[in-house]
Structure 1
Amino acid sequence: MNDVQKLKNDVQRLETENSHLKAEIKNKTESCTRTLECLDQKTHIAFYAYYSNNFKALATGTTLVFDAVITNLGNGYDKRTGIFTAPSSGVYAFTWTVNAAGSHVAGSSGNQYGEMNASIKLNGVTRSAVKIDSERKNDDDSATGFVVLSLNLGDKIQIVSDKFDGEGGLYSDDKYGRTCFSGFQIA
C-alpha cells in the first residue's frame, strides 16, 4: 500500500500546484488589462501614411487621402478614402503635417503659392486645425497639428481641407518634407 499512498500524495500535491498556477495566471491576465506589462499580448493600433508626391491644394471639404501607408497596425486606416476608423474604443493620439510650397509645383498656376487650412475631424466635426501659407517665392511653410481624442468603436477620423479653398502647391517629398497623417491608441 505504500506505493498507492505515495501516488495519492503525488496527485494531491500536483492538484494543489495546478490550482496555484491557475490562480496566478488569472491574476496576471486581469492585471494585463490595467498595465503595460502585457503589451505584447494586446492588439496594437497605430498607423502612419503620407502623400507619395507633391500635390495641388484642395477645394474646401476635400478629405486628404494619404496614399503611401508605412504602418497600419489594426487596419484602421483606409488609403482609398483617407479615413481612420477606430477598431476599438479608447484614447488615441493623432498628428498631421502639411507642407506649403513657395514655388509652383504639382500643377499650380498663376502667382499662387501654397496655402491651405487642414482640419482634423471626428465623425465630421472639427476638433483642431492648422493653417499653412507661403506668401512669396521660396517662402515654404509647414504646420503640424496634434490632438488626443477619446473614440468609440467605429468613430471616423480624417484630415480635411477646410474653411477656404486651398491654393497653389503643397510638398510631400524627401527634400521639403512629407505631408503626412498618423495616429495610435494610448489607452
Structure 2
Amino acid sequence: MIKWIITAEVAFWIVIIAGLFSRYVLQWKKVSILFFLMTPFIDLALVALTVIDLRNGATATTAHGISVIYIGVSIAYGKTMIAWADEKFQTWFLKKASNKQTLTGIAKGIHEMKMWARHATAFTIGSLLFWGMITFVGSQGIEALTGVWRVWGLVLLIDGVISLSYIIFPKKVTS
C-alpha cells in the first residue's frame, strides 16, 4: 500500500510541475489548468486502490490510514500547495522577486488559525473516509485505521493549541 501512496505523491508533484511548466515556460495556460485539474483524480485513484486492497482481504495497516490522511490533506490544502509551488517556481526558475511578506502580530495569529481550520477540514474529510471505509470494508482488523485516526486527532489538537497561542501571545512587530 505504501508504494501507492508514494506513487500518488510523486504523480501529484509531477502534475503540478507540468502545470507550472506549461503555464510559464510554454505559455499554455489552458493546458496548465488541465494539469491542475488532474490532481483530484490522483486522490480518487488512491482512494479506489485503498478500498480495493481492503476489499480484497488485506488487513488494514498504518499505510491504509496514511492514504486517508494524504487524501484529506490534499483536498484541504490543495489550492494552498499549488499556490506555494507557483510562487516557488516563479522565484526559482523564472527569477522573479518574491512578494511574500513575513507575518507578525495578530496577522500571524489569524494566518495560523486559518491554517488550523484547513487542518480541521482535512481531518473531517479524512474522518469521513475512515468511517466510510470501515463501513464499506467491515470492522474486522481496523485497529491500525482507528489508531492512525486517534493519533491524527491528537496532532490536530496540538496544532490547534499552537495556532491559538499565536493569537493569545502574538509575536511583536519589529521595525
- Structure 2-normalised TM-score? 0.25
User: Which structure is richer in relative contact order (CA contacts within 8 A, separation 6 or more)?
Assistant: 1
**Larger helix proportion of the pair:** 2
**Larger strand proportion of the pair:** 1
- Structure 1-normalised TM-score? 0.24
